[in-house]
Structure 1
């Protein structure tokens, strides 16, 4: 009986650690489990996406998409971006704050088109605020901003 309990606990821990982490799909070791990707176009838009395996929650996939969008915005030299759910919405300039996540065979995935814009643009999302807000959740506790002053001895 004790062996079964230990085996069940070990299996539960192993499965809990199997959720897709935040990494690129181009990573040869981790890419097969999913991850983020982005590519330019059409026009000045950038298509950003994240795909997970069956062990990640759809809400987390949506957060990863938003986080990657903020990283891409800064990589492109921008500070703000707008989000479009589809290419059709981008052409029609129908901006979104929602991150729609679909699921195929129990594996959540999402993508969006972003457009890097100046700060005053309508519905602009500040990249720095997104990176700060979700740093701990995406990159781990060590990436979280300091919450207080250190005391000296």
Structure 2
């Protein structure tokens, strides 16, 4: 218990790392999350603490979107910045990062699609592109 408390105190001045928001030890600093719906879309998000740069939060969102795509058995996905855009099929490759109480947060809706689909993003390419930034020292090996 003491070790966990010391770890929490030591991490309180650090930027949010790439981990689940439901992590019992680190989740209070933010993290990624995803939920199915509505329809065949999946809502993916990432929230950070006050020490993480908004650009990094956007990278984490894209990385998590690619992981979720592969977890669901897909290879490609399209990104929608809002539910309104998903309904209107207005696709994007941009991540809009907002600030809530000075902490960057973002979410998007993804739709898993075949490789040839218009504006499809390759999950494997995104995982490879951002692996060193998201999981330093891993070089994306766990995703191959």
Measured against aligned partners, the alpha-carbon deviations of 1:83-121 in whole angstroms (never above 9, x if no partner) come to: 000001000000011100000121000000000000000
TM-score normalised by length of structure 1 = 0.83
Aligned-partner SS, 1:61: helix
1:72 corresponds in structure 2 to 68
Matched, 1:41 2:20: no
2:78 corresponds in structure 1 to 82
Rounded to whole Å, the distance in 2 between the matches of 1:65 and 1:15 is 21
2:100 corresponds in structure 1 to 104
In structure 2, list runs of 5 or more residues that go unmatched: 1-9
2:5 corresponds in structure 1 to none
Rounded to whole Å, the distance in 2 between the matches of 1:38 and 1:108 is 17
Rounded to whole Å, the distance in 2 between the matches of 1:122 and 1:130 is 17
In structure 1, list runs of 5 or more residues that go unmatched: 1-13, 147-153
Deviating above 3 A after TM superposition, structure 1's stretches of 4 or more consecutive aligned residues are 14-17
Greater Cα radius of gyration, structure 1 or 2: 1
Q: How many residues in Structure 1 have an aligned counterpart in Structure 2?
A: 132
Measured against aligned partners, the alpha-carbon deviations of 1:6-59 in whole angstroms (never above 9, x if no partner) come to: xxxxxxxx7896100000011000000000000000000000000000000000
Contact 2:54 2:104 in 1 (8 A): yes
TM-score normalised by length of structure 2 = 0.88
